[in-house]
């Protein structure tokens, strides 16, 4: 298995798409059913064997630190009541991983957020998980990416086929086939291209296993799209010139992915995940069926 131990989770974004909910609450704390979105992401990292998690935060992100810390007052109150189930739920997030935090003082883009992780990461390959993408735990992706990284060296990104009309919302990869049907060689990358100029319909989804050489490239990467330092631009340089830090491969994901960065997709994610839950699902689906019959003929 992989030697990758560290996960980096950028979480400094302002979450403006969810205002006013995100005026005083980080968007990462918005619940997906009954768990904050960010907890799913940390759970995914831990399930792939990454128990050292660095979150790149910013101002107004204190609730993230509190969520992954102990809450003695609440724990004592629940213990006194003998409410073991809820006590376990409270303790789950603080027992999950070894959490570290670094602040991104200026919001200068995803590439800059990843660069803030350099002192913590050191010189080992590491994973980056973006909080807006939730990957269904039944369809493990990171483990496969770590496997390819161990085999091929360099960096590995997660790709997914999207409707060509949607490609302008993502980083997009030009690729060449390999001997593995789910793995491609990345020959070029472009951040949020116009559909008419996109080299493929393969979108970068928010999972990366990166060679630490990316830090040196990021230090030299000029602001790109949106005047932000783009991780995609740094990876493009790595893909173009292997001598900088090995090749870039892509794992083409065909599993279930939920986008919680957009309000419509966020609602769809909640409905799906609630419907599949053993405790809530049966009643919720029954209500949903009736609701659809009555309200959405």
Size of the site for ligand G1P (CB under 6 A): 15
Q: Does 206 bind ligand G1P (CB under 6 A)?
A: yes
Q: Does 205 bind ligand G1P (CB under 6 A)?
A: yes
Give the DSSP letter string of the chain: -----EEEEE-----GGGTTTTSSS-GGGSEETTEEHHHHHHHHHHHTT--EEEEEE-TT-HHHHHHTS--HHHHHHHHHHT-HHHHHHHHHHHHS-EEEEEE-SS---HHHHHHTTHHHHTTS-EEEE-TTEEE-TTS--HHHHHHHHHHH-SEEEEEEE--GGGGGGSEEEEEEE-SSTTEEEEEEEEES--GGG-S-SEEEEEEEEE-THHHHHHHTPPP-GGGS--HHHHHHHHHH-GGGT--EEEEE--S-EEE-SSHHHHHHHHHHHHHH-TTTHHHHHHHHHHHHHHH--
Q: Provide the mask over 74-113, with x wherever binding to ligand G1P is found by CB under 6 A and - wherever it is not.
A: ------------------------------------x---
Q: Provide the mask over 129-148, with x wherever binding to ligand G1P is found by CB under 6 A and - wherever it is not.
A: -x-xx---------------
Which residues ranging from 156 to 195 are in contact with ligand G1P (CB under 6 A)?
170-171, 191
Q: Closest approach of Cβ 206 to ligand G1P, in Å?
A: 4
Using CB under 6 A, which of the segments 15-23, 43-51, 64-72, 226-234 binds ligand G1P?
226-234
Minimum CB distance to ligand G1P smaller for 93 or for 230:
230
Q: Closest approach of Cβ 19 to ligand G1P, in Å?
A: 17
Q: Does 245 bind ligand G1P (CB under 6 A)?
A: no
Minimum CB distance to ligand G1P smaller for 78 or for 110:
110
Minimum CB distance to ligand G1P smaller for 58 or for 171:
171
Q: Does 233 bind ligand G1P (CB under 6 A)?
A: no
Binding site for ligand G1P (CB under 6 A): 110, 130, 132-133, 170-171, 191, 203-206, 230-232, 261
């Amino acid at each position: 298995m992989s030697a990758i131990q560290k996960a980096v989770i950028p979480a400094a974004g302002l979450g403006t798409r969810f205002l006013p909910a995100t005026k005083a609450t980080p968007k990462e704390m918005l619940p997906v059913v009954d768990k904050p979105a960010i907890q799913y992401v940390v759970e995914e990292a831990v399930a792939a064997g990454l128990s050292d998690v660095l979150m790149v935060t910013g101002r107004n992100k204190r609730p993230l630190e509190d969520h992954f810390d102990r809450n003695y007052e609440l724990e004592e109150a629940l213990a006194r009541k003998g409410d073991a189930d809820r006590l376990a739920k409270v303790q789950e997030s603080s027992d999950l991983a070894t959490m570290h935090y670094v602040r991104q003082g200026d919001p200068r883009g995803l590439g800059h957020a990843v660069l803030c992780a350099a002192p913590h990461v050191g010189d080992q390959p590491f994973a980056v998980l973006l909080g807006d993408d939730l990957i269904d735990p039944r369809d493990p992706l990171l483990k496969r990416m770590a496997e390819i990284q161990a085999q091929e060296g360099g960096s590995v990104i997660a790709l997914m086929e999207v409707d060509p009309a949607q490609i302008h919302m993502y980083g997009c990869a030009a690729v060449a086939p390999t001997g593995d049907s789910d793995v491609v060689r990345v020959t070029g990358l472009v951040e949020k291209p116009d559909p008419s100029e996109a080299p493929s319909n393969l979108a970068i989804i928010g999972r990366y296993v990166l060679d630490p050489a990316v830090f040196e490239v990021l230090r030299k990467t000029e602001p790109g799209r949106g005047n932000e330092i783009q991780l995609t631009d740094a990876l493009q340089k790595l893909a173009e010139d292997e001598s900088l830090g090995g090749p870039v491969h892509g794992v083409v994901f065909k599993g279930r992915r939920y986008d919680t960065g957009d309000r419509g997709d966020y609602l769809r994610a909640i409905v799906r995940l609630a419907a599949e839950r053993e405790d809530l699902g049966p009643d919720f689906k029954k209500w949903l069926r009736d609701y659809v019959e009555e309200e959405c003929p």
